[in-house]
Amino acid sequence: MIDLNDVIVFARVVEAGSFTAAARLLAMPKTTVSRRVAALEREVGVRLLQRTTRSLNLTDAGRLYYEQSSQGLRTIEEANLRLAEARAEPSGT
């Protein structure tokens, strides 16, 4: 089963442009970020990122996966925000 945290880490790597920058944003070691992306790639059965010593590029599958999964992540973030707003509103009779 795909771990949602791995999807989040993958999205942050794409958005940050590197494992190092994503690790800083996520406040976790770069090796953990790399392992989580590798675990996601194993789970989906396809390479999502093309890594070289100097660059990081999305594969075609990675681009598709990022586009679709980032929409889902935004939906989850929006749902969490709406729930937080609803909890902050006074309730009662």
At 45-63, the pLDDT tens digits run 999 999 988 889 999 999 9
Domains of the chain: 4-84 (1.10.10.10)
Please give the average per-residue pLDDT across 1-11, as a whole number: 96
Query: How far lies 92's CA from each of 2, 89, in Å?
Result: 40, 10
pTM of the model: 0.86
pLDDT surpassing 90 at residue 8: yes
* Span of 28-32, 35-39, 82-86 with lowest mean pLDDT: 82-86
In the chain, the percentage of residues whose pLDDT exceeds 90 is 85
Annotate 26-62 with b (16+ C-beta within 10 A) or e (fewer). beeeeeebbebbebbbeebeeebbeeeeeebebeeeb
- Contact indicator for 83, 91 with CB cutoff of 8 Å: no
> Residue 7: CB partners within 8 Å, gap ≥ 6?
40, 69, 72, 73
Mean pLDDT, the chain, as a whole number?
Answer: 94
* Span of 2-6, 22-26, 79-83, 85-89 with lowest mean pLDDT: 85-89
